[in-house]
Amino acid sequence: MSKVIKRAINLPLAGKETFFLWGPRQTGKTTLLRSLYPEAMWIDLLKSEEFRKYMERPQILREELGFYSSPPFVVVDEVQKVPALLDEVHQLHESRGIRFALCGSSARKVRRGHANLLGGRAIRYELQGFVSNELGLDWDLIRMINHGYFPRFYLSEHPAKLINSYVSDYLKEEIAAEGLVRNLPAFSEFLSIAALSDSEPVNYSTIARECGVSSQSVKAYYQILEDTLLGRWLPAYTKRAKRRVVQAPKFYLSDIGVVNFLARRGHLEPGSELFGKAFENWCFHELTSYNLYAERYARLSYWRLSNGREVDFIVNGMQAGLEAKASRKITSDHLRGLRAARSDYPLKRAVIICLEQKPRKTEDDIEIIPADLFSRMLWAGEFF
């Protein structure tokens, strides 16, 4: 796959806005910014000499830009490495109207250090891994579920070594180097357990016992995953519940290839339980990415009764319910969760996302939609 893949995120023209571009490591943030802003002044804090220069004297940025009578648009890559630089960015934005693209893989160090986040003056964007809409005719669901969403993983013929290096670098550079945890072996074990628990309601006590740490440590570990953008929460929908519902949130890691590697899954094919779990992660990835890129600001949640009946994704408080079922033949058993939700709530639209070949609709208006059609409908704005 040699062609340039156009990303679905919409970033502003050079010099129009100051903005943050956050995203997990290796989602292609630097590649995207270089392609969009080839004339920008570039500050790469991954380069040791640049890192040292701005760490020792952040004000040198003001001096460098003072050279220009008409200052350029400026990209600061890995901005979280020198949080003090944001004070200079803020001052230059206000006093001289200079616009910046501030790129990073973690806002944790910035936020925890009470660094300047520009007082709301900078718009926030977030880049995810590849989505089906970006790949078009080259999109392959089986490949994506086995290789992952991050560009290098999806495009590689042998992604396992890349994912292994990714996890090692994450532990070394994001966790150990920043001093985010005291017990790195325990956090490494937690990563594997979090992968095994992907798409399931989180029980802190159970995970704590398996890791040999406290529940508070597990909560802190999940916060680190969220802050470093390696995963996100999906809350339970509990409003006006007529029956007892599960209230624990779910957590989804940001790349299914990383999940598969950490959980030691082999090659996944439709028909297996593990493929079904991975398929649910993919649905969440597509829904979340569309919500971010299209700036819909929809509220996503899930709904589950204590008896196990469930709807995987609830959009805007029962505006729509979507159930991910990686089956080539949907039966009445697959519809029980949506029917239970509809009996308790005025669910406006009920959808099964599946592997059947053709779309259809049941007599009680439950839409059964193949995964490829779901993708096209989602990115056309048909669900929210």
Query: Tens of pLDDT along 362-381?
Result: 999 999 999 999 999 999 99
For 282-291, how does the pLDDT look when each residue is reduced to its tens digit (9 = 90+)? 999 999 999 9
> Which residue carries 């697959």 as its tokens?
334
DSSP string, 175-214: IITTT--S-HHHHHHHHHHHHHTTTSB--HHHHHHHHTS-
- Whether the predicted pLDDT of 1 surpasses 70: no
> What is the share, in percent, of the chain residues with pLDDT greater than 90?
87
Rounded to 5°, angle at Cα 102 from 100 and 104: 170
Contact 340, 249 (CB under 8 A): no
What is the model's pLDDT at position 3?
A: 66
Q: What is the pTM of this model?
A: 0.95
- The packing angle between helices 371-379 and 273-293, to 10°, is 10
What is the model's pLDDT at position 379?
A: 98
> What value does the mean pLDDT take over residues 268-276?
96
Other C-beta atoms closer than 10 Å to the C-beta of 167 total 18
Q: How far apart are CA 249 and CA 290, in angstroms?
A: 21
- Whether the predicted pLDDT of 220 surpasses 70: yes
- Whether the predicted pLDDT of 168 surpasses 60: yes
For 57-90, how does the pLDDT look when each residue is reduced to its tens digit (9 = 90+)? 999 999 999 998 888 999 999 998 998 999 999 9
Contact 219, 248 (CB under 8 A): no
> What value does the mean pLDDT take over residues 161-173?
93
Query: Model confidence at 114, in pLDDT bands (50, 70, 90)?
Result: very low
> Over the chain, what is the mean pLDDT?
94
Q: How far apart are CA 287 and CA 280, in angstroms?
A: 11
Q: How far apart are CA 81 and CA 102, in angstroms?
A: 11
What is the model's pLDDT at position 69?
A: 86
Question: For the chain, first and last CA: distance in Å?
Answer: 31
Beta bridge partners of 77: 44, 103
CATH 3.40.50.300 intervals, the chain: 19-126
> What value does the mean pLDDT take over residues 333-358?
97
Other C-beta atoms closer than 10 Å to the C-beta of 294 total 16
Which residue, among 198, 171, 206, 172, has the nearest Cα to 265 in the 3D structure?
198
Beta bridge partners of 361: 367
Other C-beta atoms closer than 10 Å to the C-beta of 62 total 17
Contact 194, 223 (CB under 8 A): no
Q: How far apart are CA 89 and CA 160, in angstroms?
A: 39
- Whether the predicted pLDDT of 2 surpasses 80: no
Q: How far apart are CA 248 and CA 262, in angstroms?
A: 23
Query: Model confidence at 107, in pLDDT bands (50, 70, 90)?
Result: confident
The CATH number given to 19-126 is 3.40.50.300
> What value does the mean pLDDT take over residues 250-261?
98
Residue 186 identity: A
**Is pLDDT larger for residue 4 or for residue 49?**
49
Q: Is the alpha carbon torsion for 276, 277, 279, 284 positive or negative?
A: positive
Beta bridge partners of 320: 315
Distances (CA, A) of 16 to 9, 11, 76, 87: 16, 10, 16, 20
Contact 133, 247 (CB under 8 A): no
Q: Give the pair of three-digit tokens for residue 331.
A: 């039966």
> Which residue carries 């406290």 as its tokens?
214
Residues belonging to the chain: 384
Pick from 61-65, 170-174, 262-266: least confident:
170-174
Beta bridge partners of 201: 250
Which residues, 6 or more positions from 54, have their beta carbon under 8 angstroms from its beta carbon? Answer: 43, 45, 60, 61, 82, 85
Contact 193, 211 (CB under 8 A): yes
> What value does the mean pLDDT take over residues 37-43?
96
